Amino acid sequence: MRIIVVGCGKIGTALIESLASEEHDIVVIDTNRKVLEEINNIYDVMCVCGNGADSDVLDEASAGKAELFIAVTNSDELNMLSCFFAKKMGAQHTVARIRKTDYNDKSLSFMKQTLSLSMPINPEYAAAQELYNILKMPSVVKIENFSSGNFEMIQLKLKPDSRLDGMTLSEMRGKFKANFLVCAVQREGKVFIPSGNFTLKGGDKIGVTANQTEIIKFLKELNLIQKQTKNVTILGGSRIAYYLAKRLLASGNDVKIIEQNLERCEEISELLPQVTMIHADGTQQEVLLEEGIENTDAFVALTGIDEENILISYFAQRKGVPKVITKVNRDELREIADDMGIDCTVSPKKIIANILTRYARALKNSMGSQIETLYKLMDSNIEALEFKVSPDFAGVQMPLKNLSFKDQILIAGIIRGRTAIIPAGDDVILPGDRVIVIAGQKRLQDLSDIMR
C-alpha cells in the first residue's frame, strides 16, 4: 500500500517504524532535512523535504496516488490543510492529527465532513482513555477493550509469592471458577503463547482474556481486587492530564494536578474548576510529601521528560501509593522502568501507531474478514486482533479442534452478538462472529491468514 506520512516527530517516527515493518510503500515529508536523513538511514522509505501543505511538495511526493495520507505534524491546522490538499489531488484516505482541547466533538465532526477526512486522531486523548481504563481496574497493569465492549484482555504482573507460581494452565482451569483464558506470557524478555501444560512463575507478565464479569471474578479469586480509586494525583499539566482529569471528574473522582507553569495552572483551573491545581515543581520530593502523596489512591506521572516520570513514579511506589502509572515514550527507558518495578507504563506514540497500523491493514484487506481491533502486547512481541467473520472464511461452522492453525496462533475469544465465548475444541466460528486472535511473530492481514 502507498502511504504518505507528513511530520517526523515522536508520533510520526513511531508510525514510520510500525508501517515500515508492514512492508508498505512509504513516502515521508518533513521540513527538517537532518531528521529526514536519519529516517532514510534507518528505514526503506522515500523522503521529501518541504512543507506538507505546499502543493509542489505534495506533487513531488505523488500525494494524488496515495492510498493512505497521514499528517502528524505539531500543527493541527497544517495537518488539516495537508489532508485537504492531498484529498483534492486524489489521495484515497486521509488522517489528521488534531490535538487542541478546544475542538469539541461537534467541531471535529464538522471538520471531518468539510475536509473529507477519513479519521482525526488525538494521541493525548487516546492515552488519557487508556489511563482511565487502567484506573478503573487498578489491580491490572494494562487493559484492552474489544469492539463489543463486553470482552477484555488484561495484563498482570505475577508477584514472586503469587498463588499461580508453579501452577500449569490446565491446573488453573480446575482451581478457578472464573471462565478465562491465559493467552500470552512474557518471561525474562521472551514471549510465549502457552499451551495447557505451560507452568507459570512469579515475575511473569500474563495476558488474560474473558468478559468483564469473569475478569472481576478471576481477580477476586486471586485476591487482586484493589479498592476503587477515589483520589488521583497527576504530575504535569499536559493535554493528557487535562483529558484524564476531565474523565475522572465525570466519574466522581477527586483530582489534583501539580504543574510548575503558572499560566498552564490558570488555564486548567479555568477549564476544570473542580480540579485542585497546585503551582509547584512536582519533581521535588518535598512538594509531593507536602501534597499528601502517601494518602493518594493513584499517582500518574505525565511530565514531558521520561526520566523524571520514572524516578518520581519510583518514589511514589516507595511511599506506598497503591497505583502508579507512568508515561514513557522511549523503548529503552520503558525496559528500565520495568526493571525498577514500575509495571504500568503508557506510550502515546505507541497507541497511535497501533491505531493507524490497524487502519492500514483494514484498508489493505481484500478477503472480507475485516480487522476491527488491533493491539500490540508484551512489548509489541504479540498482537491481539479482532476480526469480523465473513461467510467466505474457510473455517466457518467447523469445530476448532478440526481446524489446522499456523504455529503461534491462538483463538482467544469468540464474540457472538452480546455473548463472549472462551473457545474450546468443540466450539465453531459462524459468519458475523467477531473472533479474537493472538498471534506471535506474524502480521495477520485477514482471518484466513491463521490457517495452514
Domain ranges of the chain: 2-121, 128-221, 231-346, 361-450
- CATH class for the region spanning 128-221: alpha beta
Q: How far apart are CA 247 and CA 239, in angstroms?
A: 13
Highest mean pLDDT among 185-189, 276-280, 432-436: 276-280
User: The CATH number of 231-346 is which of 3.40.50.970, 2.60.40.60, 3.40.50.720, 3.20.10.10?
Assistant: 3.40.50.720
Residue 373 has pLDDT above 70, yes or no: yes
Q: How far apart are CA 229 and CA 244, in angstroms?
A: 14
Please name the amino acid found at residue 422: I
Residue 63 has pLDDT above 90, yes or no: yes
415 vs 377, more confident: 415
User: The CATH number of 2-121 is which of 3.40.640.10, 3.30.70.3270, 3.40.50.720, 1.10.3210.10?
Assistant: 3.40.50.720
Nearest in space to 376 (alpha carbons), one of 405, 353, 407: 353
Please state the rounded mean pLDDT for residues 132-147: 87
Q: How far apart are CA 80 and CA 70, in angstroms?
A: 10
State the virtual CA torsion across 129, 135, 136, 142 in degrees, nearest 10: 70
Q: How far apart are CA 429 and CA 414, in angstroms?
A: 7
Residue 184 has pLDDT above 70, yes or no: yes
Please state the rounded mean pLDDT for residues 286-292: 95
Confidence of residue 367 (pLDDT cuts 50, 70, 90): very low
Confidence of residue 331 (pLDDT cuts 50, 70, 90): confident
Q: What does the DSSP assignment read for 286-343?
A: HHHHHTTGGG-SEEEE--S-HHHHHHHHHHHHHTT-SEEEEE---HHHHHHHHHTT--
Among 104-113, 155-164, 376-385, the range scoring the smallest mean pLDDT is: 104-113
Q: Give the per-residue pLDDT at 150.
A: 77
Q: Give the per-residue pLDDT at 369.
A: 61
Please state the rounded mean pLDDT for residues 261-278: 96
Please state the rounded mean pLDDT for residues 396-410: 92
CA angle 39, 43, 49 (to 5 degrees): 40
Confidence of residue 290 (pLDDT cuts 50, 70, 90): very high
Residue 430 has pLDDT above 70, yes or no: yes
Tally the C-alpha atoms within 13 A of residue 179's C-alpha that lie toward its C-beta.
10
Chain centroid to CA 256? 25
Kind and range of the H or E run holding 39? helix 33-42
64 vs 335, more confident: 64
CATH 3.60.15.10 fits 361-450, yes or no: no
- Fold: same for 128-221 and 231-346: no
